[in-house]
Structure 1
Amino acid sequence: MILERLWRWRVALMATVVGVLAAVMRFASLGHPTDLVFDEVFYARGGYSLVELGFEGEWGGDNQDFAHGDFSQLSDEGDFVVHPNTGKLLIGLGMKMFGATPFGWRFFAALFGVAACVILAFTARRLFRSTIWGTVAGVLLAVDGEHVVLSRTALLDGFMTFFVIAGFALLVMDRERTRERLMAAAAQERGALGWGPEVRLPGGGPNLGIRWWRLAAMVAFSVSVSVKWNGLYFMAAFLVLSVVFDWYDRRAAGYEDWFGGGFLRAIPAFLTTVVVLPLVYLASWIPWFTSDNSWGRHWAEQNPGEGVTWLPESLRSLVHYHRQMWDFHKSLDTPHNYESNPWFWPFQWRPTAFYFEDAPDADCGADRCVSAIHAVGDPLLWWVAFAVLLFALWRVVRHRDMLALTLAVGYLAAWVTWLPFAHRTIFTFYTVTMAPFVVLLVVWALQRLAQPARLGGAWSPRGLAIAGVYVGLVLALAGFFAPIWIGDPIPFRYWQLHMWFPSWV
């Protein structure tokens, strides 16, 4: 009983440490800067319009009028926007709760950022079978610059990252429960037949019925798509991975036709996805359906006989609108100071500067003070993670390591899918969706170093020392970079010390 309580206290301590650290990094001075930062110009104003008008109206005037409390430039004419509504609705809800203030439009980004860190800690605890390593994973995400900055700004990518982490966590739960049930069913069959564990069983294994954890994961991934379309990459990658899990576990349970058994059960899962994704995605467009002034809402009525004619008029209009959105994204190649080539994203080669202003009224102890926000990940995390990724891929090919495959799939889904669009105007801050898997890869490597397989899970003093020093250096570097993640006024010379490469300036 005492040991059980102590174990629960360890888990509670993990959640508390991760949650408090993540909250401090995300909520401290959340109302600063008072201006709209980077693309908050689009999403904060879009969120306000959604909760005030029920649709996204067109804005006039200066972009910063909104930040100064002037909402008079919002018209009742629909605006052409190129992302779905879920993220902007959450931003708008924050303003409903706390007013149209910087804290209000950033509140839910920060809250979901904290929740993402805690969920990742619990997921890592399951993956690595260790509360200690779960805590390390949550702490490292809590102090990573990409995730901190995107959790402190009213952009969409932080919300998408949360729902991707949630979907991934649910699939990890599904895999664990499904494997337990498969092994139990195989043991029961062998017991009934009087066979030993070395004998392979006929058939492909049992039908386990509705897998509620996987269904919940489908919903979470579908919501990520309703934030930004590239959530679809994660949904496809991880649901295919769940089929691979099924094949692997049925084979491990000893079923002869493990491939056929897993494939057969994948068919209803695919059909369920085909139903769940459109339903969740369409639900996110309810404000568009219910508002007469939404952009393109009555296109089908104004263009009879055009488009997908067999659909109802409202859906036909929405399909046409999505074609316009797709055409916009395909042709988005306007030069931008901070655009970056995705081939270099793992190295954070061209981080996005969200904000940079002189702060003449600040007392920073220097002649020139500046306030800057740069979405750059902790270099020690990101550079090491790429090396670990190469090792993980080797483990997959050489040893069929399922844990290595799981972590590599998350990293690659966030990165490789952007490589064909290297010619487009895209930014390094999109890598915030990679951040959870950067952390998981690093923690996986640290665990292998501190608890090598040759010791059967026992601690290696040398490996533990190396892992401890590394984590300490990551945290120290996070403390060094924190001012340019949070935007605290600092001496200009101190800001320059953070610009390690010309591409960072």
Structure 2
Amino acid sequence: MSRPEANFDAMVGAPGAKSASPDGDELPGTRLDLWWGRLLALPGAQRIWYWGGPIAVTLLAAVLRLVRLGDPRSLVFDETFYVKDAWTLLNLGYEASWPDNADKPFTAGNVDIFTTNGSYVAHPPLGKWMIALGLRVFGAQDTIGWRISTAIVGILAVFLLVIIARALFNSTLLATIAGGLFAIDGHAIVMSRTALLDNFVMIFTLLGFGAIMLDRAKSAGRLSLWLSRRAEAGRDIDWGPALWWRPWLLTAGILFGAATAVKWSGLYFLAAFAVYSLVVDACARRTAGIPFWLSGTIFKQGPVTFLLTIPLAIATYLASWTGWFVTREGYYRNWAEVPGNAATGFFTWVPHSVQSFLHYQASVYDFNVNEHTAHPYSANPLSWLFLLRPTAFYYVGQVQGQSGCSFSSCAQYVTSIANPILWWAATAALFFLVYRLVRYREWRVGLILMGTVAGYLPWLLYSDRTIFQFYAIVFEPYLILGLVFVIGLIIGSRRDARSRRTRGIGVVAVFLLLVVFVSAFFYPVWTGMQVPEIFARLHYWLPGWR
């Protein structure tokens, strides 16, 4: 029995693709296929569609993320840490402490009440430097300035996902669906309208994912070229080559290092995709007929892959701490200079600044691993895929006549819940992809699943600490890619029987319309619009959503 390959080349978006019945008779596809083919046959239409679809969903993402970006006009959830940290980074070069109860005066515009004492922070500085860019342009008094950086990143992530999806599936249609789903999902919208760090981890890891995808194709070509040259020269190919010139792998190392410089969870992507690249190399060597393909991967390519990724990632991480190193007042900056703290013996040669830095990193690791503070919205990662406990970021209730409320009671509510129909469908697709990988070993499926593994599975090791559903934004792009892979299978191609093709298109169309409707229904509680209290309660579908 031959294994079915996912064929995305002859979809609705591919005009002129001929299909044939088993008897050799040409099948015209559905009426939609014929109409679409004629439309794209018009002069310039294919180029317009090639860029028009991606640009359209990106513009949609921009509207949903930028309109009323300044609302709510108060620090939301952990914005109280990251916005103020970003402001002190911009002014001092390091995160400084604030007086007690500083949120109210800060929101009112009194933004320069910070001290010069270093503040203990649990995450590296890069994400806060990115928030600081918005503060630099708009000022810390403007709530748009707090959030504009995360909004821009969220918009760019939609376009990036379209580009990656098109490279994966060779279909502008599927790529546009992927970008459209990411554009209208509530989890992505809320994380793009709130000045938290996780959107920055998401964009850097998604860029790194794209770099790994490009490296996979380029390294296969270089391996083929090496083999042909060895064959022409009559030389042995026992272990295969050590491929050094892999610019996309170098790029991935930098990008995953940048993700780690926002939050340490980026480190899991670095580790996962370093291993992934070696597995892909081993498979390519085996397919090429290299006798010692496994040992050649481990002992020849393995050290090279390490040198191409890890040092650059470390350098990128350290570079994000430049402000801490070049100033003197950052937290623990002078720790090693306190009598009794500095290393003795062999390690006395290590500069005090480096010793202080390593002590700080160890302290932060201990804090993050042992963070068990009770929180009403803490969510076990086992529940994330089923959307059992999304995080409510903001809630203010009003009575009639208060703040323009014209009902008996109103609410301004921001919840980071994803579009539940989209999320549950993506979860179902994820489990199907696991089966598909085991059954057919398709490279697209393996790559998509590796993104999910890197972003999700490590959290299961820390399920007893305080963690939140919104961390899932980091692997949401790969959930959507997995869902779109399944959508492509359901739609089928022009080579399928007309009845099967028609049913597939119909099922997908109904699903997409349902997702759009649910997003429209949830949009007010994703963006903090004032709504009747009863309307807000209509969004509590499960007990954990309150």
TM-score, normalised via structure 1 length: 0.93
Tell me the equivalent position of 1:56.
Answer: 95
**Matches for 1:217-228 after TM superposition, within 5 Å:** 217-228=252-263
The 2-side partners of 1:392 and 1:338 are apart by 30
Tell me the CA shift for residue 18 of structure 1.
2.1
- 2:373 equivalent among 329, 334, 351: 334
- 2:135 equivalent among 95, 104, 113: 95
Q: Single out whichever of 453-462 and 368-377 deviates more from structure 2.
A: 453-462
- In 1, are the aligned partners of 2:244 and 2:304 still within 8 Å (CA)? no
The 2-side partners of 1:156 and 1:222 are apart by 15
Tell me the CA shift for residue 366 of structure 1.
2.6
Cα gap change, 1:245/1:457 in structure 2, threshold over 3 Å: closer, same or farther? farther
Tell me the equivalent position of 1:197.
Answer: none
- 1:296 equivalent among 329, 332, 337: 332
Identity %: 37
**Matches for 1:260-279 after TM superposition, within 5 Å:** 260-263=295-298, 264-279=300-315
Tell me the CA shift for residue 475 of structure 1.
1.6
- In 2, are the aligned partners of 1:50 and 1:56 still within 8 Å (CA)? yes
Tell me the CA shift for residue 7 of structure 1.
3.8
Tell me the amino acid that sits aligned with residue 311 of structure 1.
V
Tell me the CA shift for residue 362 of structure 1.
5.0
Tell me the equivalent position of 1:471.
Answer: 512
Cα gap change, 1:205/1:320 in structure 2, threshold over 3 Å: closer, same or farther? same
Tell me the CA shift for residue 330 of structure 1.
2.2
Tell me the equivalent position of 2:16.
Answer: none
3-state SS in 2 of match to 1:354: strand
How many residues were matched structurally? Answer: 498
The 2-side partners of 1:370 and 1:102 are apart by 20
Segments of 5+ residues of structure 1 without an aligned counterpart are 195-200
Residue 161 (1) aligns with residue 197 (2):
no
The 2-side partners of 1:213 and 1:444 are apart by 24
Cα gap change, 1:180/1:454 in structure 2, threshold over 3 Å: closer, same or farther? farther
The 2-side partners of 1:80 and 1:453 are apart by 59
Tell me the CA shift for residue 19 of structure 1.
1.4
**Matches for 1:117-132 after TM superposition, within 5 Å:** 117-132=158-173
Tell me the CA shift for residue 13 of structure 1.
0.9
Tell me the CA shift for residue 397 of structure 1.
1.9
The 2-side partners of 1:456 and 1:396 are apart by 26
**Matches for 1:423-442 after TM superposition, within 5 Å:** 423-442=464-483
- In 2, are the aligned partners of 1:451 and 1:458 still within 8 Å (CA)? no
Tell me the equivalent position of 1:255.
Answer: 290
1:307-365 per-position Cα deviation (integer Å, ceiling 9, x unaligned): 56442110100011111111211221111111111110101110000000125555565
The 2-side partners of 1:456 and 1:119 are apart by 34
Tell me the CA shift for residue 218 of structure 1.
0.9
Cα gap change, 1:320/1:185 in structure 2, threshold over 3 Å: closer, same or farther? closer
- 1:350 equivalent among 389, 392, 402: 389
Residue 147 (1) aligns with residue 183 (2):
no
Tell me the amino acid that sits aligned with residue 251 of structure 2.
A
- In 2, are the aligned partners of 1:355 and 1:374 still within 8 Å (CA)? yes
The 2-side partners of 1:453 and 1:396 are apart by 25
Q: Which of the pair has the greater relative contact order for Cα pairs under 8 Å at 6+ separation?
A: 2
The 1-side partners of 2:85 and 2:147 are apart by 13
3-state SS in 2 of match to 1:281: helix
3-state SS in 1 of match to 2:116: strand
1:175-209 per-position Cα deviation (integer Å, ceiling 9, x unaligned): 1222334445556767x599xxxxxx943545543
The 1-side partners of 2:225 and 2:405 are apart by 64
Tell me the CA shift for residue 471 of structure 1.
1.6
Residue 280 (1) aligns with residue 316 (2):
yes
3-state SS in 2 of match to 1:75: coil
3-state SS in 1 of match to 2:107: coil
Cα gap change, 1:193/1:291 in structure 2, threshold over 3 Å: closer, same or farther? closer
Tell me the equivalent position of 1:245.
Answer: 280
- 1:231 equivalent among 257, 266, 287: 266
The structure with the larger Rg is 2
- 2:85 equivalent among 37, 46, 58: 46
- In 1, are the aligned partners of 2:335 and 2:341 still within 8 Å (CA)? no
**Matches for 1:103-122 after TM superposition, within 5 Å:** 103-122=144-163
The 1-side partners of 2:441 and 2:294 are apart by 16
3-state SS in 1 of match to 2:412: strand
1:409-460 per-position Cα deviation (integer Å, ceiling 9, x unaligned): 2112222111121111111111111211110110011111112698499982
Tell me the equivalent position of 1:198.
Answer: none
The 2-side partners of 1:70 and 1:50 are apart by 17
Cα gap change, 1:458/1:417 in structure 2, threshold over 3 Å: closer, same or farther? farther
- In 2, are the aligned partners of 1:186 and 1:254 still within 8 Å (CA)? no
**Matches for 1:411-426 after TM superposition, within 5 Å:** 411-426=452-467
Q: Single out whichever of 31-40 and 263-272 deviates more from structure 2.
A: 263-272
